[in-house]
Amino acid sequence: MGTDRDATVCLLTTGGTIGSIYDPAIESLRPGLSVKVLLQSLPKGLRHVNVITREIFQLDSANAQPHHWQEIATAIKKTHDEFPDLDGIVITHGTDTMVYSASAVSFMVQDFGKPIVFTGAQIPLHIPWSDGPRNLLDAIRVAAFADLGETCIVFNGEIHRPTRTKKMRSDAYDAFDSVDPSPLGTLGRDIVLFERRTQRHNLVPRFDTRLDERVFLLKVFPGLPPEVLSRIVDMGYHGVVIEGFGTGNIPTQEKSLTGSIQQAVSQGCFIVISSQCAFGQTDLSIYAVGRAAMEVGAMSAYDMTSEAALVKLSWILGHTRDPMRVREMMMTDYVGEMPILAGEVAVEKAE
């Protein structure tokens, strides 16, 4: 998309560091900047871009819950209905849980055909060296002009697919990394986009915010009592993503998890095994300790991140609890969350 006409972008704000102020009463940062102040941090008179503004809520993203994901998706639908000719949408959000929220929006708003861009900052706007103005300007630029038709995270000059992204650094400017394959694109003098992205299109968007919030993320560690999983099921959780070691390995001898997994599955709880590693993928067939989980009914997350697996399972269970259908949907690549199954990544295995 060129700049031969003015573009129109909607800026939706949700709080986060980019919208935070220092509150002397509590001697710490809290969300508080209006969307008007955010725009004032940018160059006056954005060339070729008209910005419509809406405030969804003011929230530290550590306080974000699944219903906030639904509120963001609902706001996107309302904006689309009100301004169908928008070129893109920008959402400011805290970095702590941005990957979760942006991944959820990826599933809940499919075939949008235009960029839905999440961005934020590591340093508040009132500090002179804040990264907020640059990230916000880059996000508006992508939303207005990039040939991109999917949800993304724009941060530190890179464009990431949320379901393939992790927050890797707590306070550095380059907070996010894409985990196999590379980012969707980069920002410099030009917007450089890679071929595997979804391009702009005119399909009818699908909005579906159904979620099951009763999904748990459990990290395996040496000494984890297996009865913890049973307690989680007894608490009424319908799904559990277990972060195993390496390629998805779990204890099978002392403090074995296999019995608890089998019991959970028999009680109608869906178990997905992911990896604690940032790079690589889950493969339960390599080691006996991984195959044991598969043999008692656990599903593999393959190359999904734990964050994407949690959000996806929550989204799936919001639609069905039928075991065959859940397995089928977990094995389906919807928004690029499983590039191996989508054929985007070639995997070589040693014989």
Catalytic position from the list 13, 60, 92, 96: 96
Distance CA 296, CA 312 (A): 22
Strand residues in the chain grouped as ranges (E): 7-15, 20-23, 28-31, 49-59, 88-92, 109-110, 116-119, 151-155, 158-160, 165-167, 176-178, 185-187, 191-193, 206-207, 215-219, 239-244, 270-275, 299-300
Distance CA 46, CA 296 (A): 58
Does 151 qualify as catalytic in the annotation?
A: no
Catalytic position from the list 13, 17, 198, 209: 17
In terms of Cβ atoms closer than 10 Å to its own Cβ (0-12, 13-18, 19+), residue 69 is: buried
Catalytic position from the list 147, 167, 252, 255: 167
Does 95 qualify as catalytic in the annotation?
A: yes
Q: Which residues of 11-44 are buried (b: 16+ CB within 10 A; e: fewer)?
A: bbbbbbbbbbeeeeeeeeeebebebeebbebbee
| Residue 214: both structure tokens together | 């009763």
Query: CA 300, 302, 307 angle in degrees (round to 5)?
Result: 90
Catalytic position from the list 13, 95, 97, 165: 95
Q: Which residues are catalytic?
A: 17, 95-96, 167
